[in-house]
């Protein structure tokens, strides 16, 4: 039972490059989320998706786009990476309100 799987685990980008972070869950959850974690700031919501085909902005959406391809997959795209997007990115999913399951994270460095 894999839970929430994120790829890649590590990535280094140059400023201006683009990339897509992939996330897939095998728990048949409707809701999926992307968070970023920065030192001293906890996790902040970038985007979330309540169901397939729907997405909504979170607290820090600027510079990001998302796609909810199907019920399992929720990708996060950086069109033109900036050093301020250096962070650890977490994908999560839940079925109800009582527990979210997190992936192992993607550590992204933008130079």
Partner 1 sequence: AQSVTQLGSHVSVSEGALVLLRCNYSSSVPPYLFWYVQYPNQGLQLLLKYTTGATLVKGINGFEAEFKKSETSFHLTKPSAHMSDAAEYFCAVSERTGRRALTFGSGTRLQVQP
Nearest by Cα to 76 from 12, 24, 15: 24
- Residue 85 in 3-state DSSP? helix
DSSP state at residue 33? E
Least distance to partner 1, CB of residue 103, Å: 6
* Given 52, 58, 63, 86, the residue binding partner 1 (CB under 8 A): 58
Count, residues near partner 1 per rule CB under 8 A: 26
How far, in Å, CA of 11 to CA of 93, rounded?
Answer: 22
Q: Which residues bind partner 1 (CB under 8 A)?
A: 4, 31, 33, 35, 40-45, 48, 50, 56, 58, 90, 92, 94, 96-100, 102-105
């Amino acid at each position: 039972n894999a839970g929430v799987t994120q790829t890649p685990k590590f990535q280094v980008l140059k400023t201006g490059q683009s990339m897509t972070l992939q996330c897939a869950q095998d728990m048949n959850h409707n809701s999926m989320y992307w968070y970023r974690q920065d030192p001293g700031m906890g996790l902040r919501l970038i985007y979330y998706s309540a169901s397939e085909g729907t997405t909504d902005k979170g607290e820090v959406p600027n510079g990001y786009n998302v796609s909810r391809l199907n019920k399992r997959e929720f990708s996060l795209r950086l069109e033109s990476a900036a050093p301020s997007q250096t962070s650890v990115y977490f994908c999560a999913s839940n079925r109800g309100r009582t527990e979210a399951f997190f992936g192992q994270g993607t550590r992204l460095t933008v130079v």
